[in-house]
Amino acid sequence: MKRFLKNCIHFSLYLLCINLLSFLVIKANYYDQYTTFNDSFDTYLFSDSHGAQLEETTEEQGIFNFSDPSDSYEDMFRKVKYTVAHSQVKKILISADAHTMSTYREEYNNLDRSTIYAAQDDYESSYDQFLQRYLRRYVPLLNGKSRDALLLDIKSLIPKPFSPELLWSEKTKEERESKAKLRASIHFENSERSVKMEKFIEKIITLCRENNIQLKGIKFPLTSEYRAEIPGKGYSVEEVLRKHAIEVHDFSAIFEGQSEYFGDQDHLNELGASIFSPILKKEINLP
């Protein structure tokens, strides 16, 4: 019996050490990469990777970029609520792209990371809060996303033959069309929009109205190849916004045919971001 207890203690200590090391790696390369809030602005941008790609270029225009790749409207709601409580926000810009109410955002999101901005009443129960905010965060072995991030970190340490990736503008027309078709098939896999995502965009609208905050929808620039794949597709978040008399600014075709401004089929590159951010500022009438 003593030997069994001793083995259990040793196993528990090993497991604790593995979890601690895993957490330190994941914290540095996953959790700490999530955007840190800045309360010194009065205009904030909330989006997924389309807005995140603008990086700090928006801050030069007086807009804090509170966007992160894979953010869902539930993540954005947590951030908007936090922003309202911790800043003097007057204007909010939010992604209104065609794919943002897709059901895939219910699975592929940042709820394990945006929990740091969630209020207690954002959870269904105290247990749900403990599970999301503490257990899954600090015990990464129980969090599938953390495990995936750890595996990617480990794989990145394995040397690979150098194979330079062609710029989007350097790819052939056929390659660009193929990649655009693949991305569109992922974004618009289901024909029905997410009821859950619609609920959270409605919550954002209500929160902004209750706090006298001007809300505007933003449709980000897209390549001509990607735009050719999506007519008739989409989940009409702009209809939800316009139903509430919220203006939607459509920049999707602003760089039509100008592939040098894109990093891939639906994201701007560094050059595109630096050119687009001043346009965004002017269009939304920032001083």
Q: Alpha helix locations (H) across 33-143?
A: 49-52, 73-86, 111-114, 126-129, 136-138
What CATH code is carried by the domain that includes residue 37?
A: 3.40.50.1110
**pLDDT of 108-136, one tens digit each?**
899 999 999 998 888 888 888 888 888 88
Q: Is 161 part of a structural domain of the chain?
A: no
**pLDDT of 239-282, one tens digit each?**
999 999 999 999 999 999 999 999 999 999 999 999 999 999 99
The answer to whether 108 and 70 have CB atoms below 8 angstroms apart is: yes
Q: Is 162 part of a structural domain of the chain?
A: no
Task: Give 8's pLDDT tier (boundaries 50, 70, 90).
Answer: confident
The pTM score is: 0.90
Order the strands of the 64-65 sheet from edge to edge: 64-65, 43-46, 91-95, 214-219, 248-250
Domain count, the chain: 1
Structure tokens at 110: 């940042």
Pairing of strands 43-46, 214-219: unpaired
pLDDT score at 133:
84
**Mean pLDDT over residues 51-75, rounded?**
96
pLDDT score at 22:
76
Q: Is 121 part of a structural domain of the chain?
A: yes
> Cα–Cα distance between 26 and 32 in angstroms, integer?
8
The domain in which residue 119 lies consists of: 2-156+168-283
Secondary-structure breakdown of the chain: helix, strand, coil percentages, each rounded to the nearest 5: 55, 10, 35
Q: Is 13 part of a structural domain of the chain?
A: yes
* 3-state SS assignment for residue 45: strand
Q: Is the dihedral of CA 256, 259, 265, 266 positive or negative?
A: negative
% of the chain at pLDDT higher than 70: 93
Q: Token pair 């639906």 is at which residue?
A: 266
Q: Token pair 């895993």 is at which residue?
A: 22
> Cα–Cα distance between 282 and 85 in angstroms, integer?
27
Helices 2-29 and 144-156 cross at an angle (nearest 10°) of 70
Task: Give 162's pLDDT tier (boundaries 50, 70, 90).
Answer: low
Structure tokens at 279: 């346009």
Q: Name the average pLDDT for the chain.
A: 89
Report DSSP state, residue 164. Answer: P
69 burial (CB, 10 Å; 0-12 / 13-18 / 19+) is middle
Q: Is the pLDDT of residue 6 over 80?
A: no
Q: Is 14 part of a structural domain of the chain?
A: yes
